[in-house]
Chains A and B, each alone.
Chain A
């Protein structure tokens, strides 16, 4: 037998145990769970809805749909290229297929099949990319999709959805039958704080200003923040703390990366001193930050600073450790807001 003491030395050297995120009375639920509820709702109300999984049925929250509608569920095996192409075929005959895997593999692996068989054909398939972002945690960099928004938003015809909490995910899924053309839905693995209330009803393509600090008239300490996905919660925490210090901040939540309401983005920049901070759990190139920069550089030149992953891959760790390492935790966001306020002030 090996001597268990052999392990003790390293344990005492490195204290890996970490405290968890600040607890609050808010409910915690993963966006993928909201998707599961929304899909079940659609299944009950729309006979054409079918679900396809690639050996990750439970992870992508299709288990309930599978149990409830066994005839409308298809197990494709670990084969993401097949997954989306089969879904395209089903859409051609009139079904509304939801094809789900981890975002790292779909659209990570099967991008060309999505491009040609789904988007080029303008076939209405919903590509569900679960476990997107750093919050996948210990599985490490291969499984943390940080490029999927960019990959998807470059494709003509597609709508790109990136919900910030489980309620927003559920409600957006319910709206999918009304969307024209293919859809990409970005989901996170980890439970995150539920920001919206049960009565919240988003509109596809709208942008929502969800928080404005009380001292909003203090124009010389003012910036606008635009965020997408569950990281929005960290932005809210940062803004609330800075509000006490006299900063004035507006926060915009973007659940639809594409199509995007350009006029509202321009108006937001106008109202916020032409100073915008984007925050996303994605590479800063290609994702939300790029989207906003592209719009403002053409329509209303502004200073756009970006918080997100900067040309690196992810790695193993707890969500808290990774947010900190990649500058996505509350403290780092606060620093970015302050430095943007003081720039050219």
Chain B
């Protein structure tokens, strides 16, 4: 295990703070998505505070790892995590979805240039990640020699995807290309929360057995509890060492942390009211209290 108890606790605390920010920003915005962002807070906190090779004060640093959010509607968790990691002021989170804000309802690079891509329409993130990794490999082969070792440091491309999003055929086109090109530095993380807009994924469009499908596409699959920090860390470390491209299936609870909203697909695209938010903050304080007392 590459992580100490203290580190795990720290990441868990970050995740709760991120969740609080998500609720706060959605409440202020009056619209937006609650379930997906809350469910992915642990994975995002782990990635940004433990795994990612990045520099929040220099977001355009050439050798940074890239984060591609294919399921753009969960951007509240991306924005909140970036703010807590130091990319921009936490106060700015309150501008989510407002006119003139850098934090557009779905990520838009024209407004926030430090984003790796714009998204919202589902299904095209992984293709872009594959394209980035192909170009990067080309550069490493052709430029490393002429510009000296270290000019093109090895980097990773983390692509987040929803499970409902996998209904889009383009994902499977990208999976095939990913396997064909053996891009081991592309790491997909699927938010397996089992919901989408019209209901549970297995009612809307059955995906199971998902890990088998991906395995048969010749990808390496790691399935984890997406709320267990140790498992998340371990999955990322396995993926980074893997010689095949890896897909991490993160089993998550949509709405995690706001107990009444958990596992209920109707919270996919609904923001909290003041009453909901108070209840959620209360749930989160309890979570926080449990951690502090341990």
Hey, what's the 0/1 contact readout for A77-89 against B, CB within 8 Å counting as 1?
1110110000000
Is the pair A315, B17 in contact by a Cβ cutoff of 8 Å? Answer: no
Is the pair A53, B198 in contact by a Cβ cutoff of 8 Å? Answer: yes
Is the pair B99, A321 in contact by a Cβ cutoff of 8 Å? Answer: yes
Tell me the B192-226 residues at the A interface (CB within 8 Å). 196-198, 204-205
Tell me the A293-338 residues at the B interface (CB within 8 Å). 313, 315-318, 321-322, 325
Q: Which residues of A contact B17 (CB under 8 A)?
A: 1-2
Give the residue of A14, A53, A81, A142 whose beta carbon is less than 8 angstroms from that of B72: A142
Is the pair A139, B120 in contact by a Cβ cutoff of 8 Å? Answer: yes
Is the pair B168, A79 in contact by a Cβ cutoff of 8 Å? Answer: yes
Task: Tell me, yes or no, whether A64 is within 8 Å of chain B by CB.
Answer: no
Q: Which residues of B contact A76 (CB under 8 A)?
A: 205
Task: Tell me, yes or no, whether B182 is within 8 Å of chain A by CB.
Answer: no
Q: Which residues of B contact A108 (CB under 8 A)?
A: 121
Task: Give Cα A104 to B108, complex, Å.
Answer: 15
Task: Tell me, yes or no, whether A143 is within 8 Å of chain B by CB.
Answer: yes
Hey, what's the 0/1 contact readout for B94-125 against A, CB within 8 Å counting as 1?
11011111001110101100000011111100
Give the residue of A1, A11, A141 whose beta carbon is less than 8 angstroms from that of B108: A141
Hey, what's the 0/1 contact readout for A38-64 against B, CB within 8 Å counting as 1?
000000000000000101111100000
CB closest residue in chain B, given A17: B98
* Number of B residues, CB within 8 Å of A: 46
Task: Tell me, yes or no, whether A7 is within 8 Å of chain B by CB.
Answer: yes
Task: Give Cα A104 to B288, complex, Å.
Answer: 41
Task: Give Cα A283 to B98, complex, Å.
Answer: 22
Give the Cβ gap from B263 to chain A, nearest Cβ, in Å: 18
Give the Cβ gap from A109 to chain B, nearest Cβ, in Å: 7
Q: Which residues of B contact A19 (CB under 8 A)?
A: none
Is the pair A138, B204 in contact by a Cβ cutoff of 8 Å? Answer: no
Task: Tell me, yes or no, whether B85 is within 8 Å of chain A by CB.
Answer: no
Give the residue of A2, A16, A58, A78 whose beta carbon is less than 8 angstroms from that of B167: A78
Would A142 and B198 be within 8 Å (CB), given that A6-B91, A77-B204 are in contact?
A: no
Is the pair A316, B91 in contact by a Cβ cutoff of 8 Å? Answer: no
Is the pair A82, B99 in contact by a Cβ cutoff of 8 Å? Answer: no
Hey, what's the 0/1 contact readout for A115-148 against B, CB within 8 Å counting as 1?
0000000000000000000000111111100000
Task: Give Cα A321 to B105, complex, Å.
Answer: 15
16 contacts between A and B (CB under 8 A): A1-B288, A9-B91, A16-B95, A57-B197, A58-B197, A77-B164, A77-B205, A78-B196, A79-B205, A104-B121, A138-B32, A139-B106, A140-B97, A140-B104, A142-B118, A317-B98
